[in-house]
A and B are shown apart, each in its own frame.
Chain A
Amino acid sequence: MSEARETRLFMISPRSMLTPDQLVRMVHAFGEGALVKETCYGCLVEGPRDLVLRIRDKVREDYRNEVFTKIRAYPCSDPRRCRAQHGTRPGFAQLEEEWALLAKVQHGLDQVDKGAKYVAPAEKKRISVNDFKKICEVE
């Protein structure tokens, strides 16, 4: 992973009351000097890797289960990807799909924080021949 530049995408869960505008203002208020770009789903933050990770940790302090992040391969406003310069957005369909999933994941994280544990689903067993015969006879 590149140490020099990291572009990170912050996406707000649809279950959250946070808006992209509030998120961007909050990141600006950290005063870290990273490049921040507001988007429809949250924001993009770009800067040296350690700086971006610091911003991620600060955002998580306030909105632990409401804001999700991943890195983005292309830098902000890259002409190959930026819509303002007629770039293609091949990753947007995936983001849209994940956005719908985030509400459920947020609920999952909240419950796990409260102590929910994984319970393996009951294993499905095959019905015995005799039981099956009984069902058939009733029919």
Chain B
Amino acid sequence: MKVFIDPPNSLVLFDLVERFGHEPLSTMAAIQERVDNIEVDMPPMNVTLDDVVRGLKYAGVEVPSGVRGRLAMWGPLIEEADAAIVMDDCPYSFGCVGCERSNLMVKYLLKRRGIPVLHVSYPEDDAQAVSFVAQTKEFLEGLR
């Protein structure tokens, strides 16, 4: 099954989803498609003009362009997803830094899709990490 991860660039979540037998949907894969198709040629831009127009489906024109750009990339992934894992209470610099509104929109879009979503807390110590891994494993094995 295809599992959307939030933060969408997280190594830990990507690895765990793959480890327990599912396909993670991440920002990296979305950007890779654009890189391979030679659409993106100038960093730090990771989206094309067409993407920003496509982003209008997920966020209105009055929403800042940064949110729209991010959602242009993540929106199609959320539509494609069969399930999702969301990490809550992350430190400030963990995940896509800079726009809490995008993160809230992602959570809203996931809720609107009605797919199974697991909310896990960022593990602060070893005991919480055991709980985090066990909970993720249980969820992912239950999807089969």
Contact = CB atoms under 8 A, between A and B. Distances in A.
Contacts of B97: 93
Given A81-B43, A104-B123, A69 B15 contact: yes
A112 B133 contact: yes
Interface string A98-113: 1001101101110110
A12 to B, nearest CB: 12
Interface string B115-131: 00000001101101111
Interface string A78-96: 1011000001101101110
B16 to A, nearest CB: 8
Given A68-B11, A68-B15, A71-B26, A107 B129 contact: yes
Which bracket fits the contact residues of A?
35 or more
A93 B123 CA distance: 18
Contact of B130 (A2, A75, A98, A112): A112
A108 B32 contact: no
Contacts of B93: 93-94, 97
B87 to A, nearest CB: 10
B32 A2 contact: yes
A74 B31 CA distance: 8
Contact of B28 (A73, A80, A102, A108): A73
A104 B94 contact: no
Per DSSP, are chain A's interface residues mostly helix, strand or loop, or mixed?
mixed
Nearest to B18: A69
Nearest to A94: B9
B43 A71 contact: no
Given A105-B133, A108-B129, A108-B134, A95 B11 contact: yes
B35 A108 contact: no
A119 interface: yes
A132 interface: no
Interface string B8-41: 0111101110110001001111111111100001
Interface of B: 7, 9-12, 14-16, 18-19, 23, 26-36, 41-44, 91, 93-95, 97, 122-123, 125-126, 128-135, 137-138
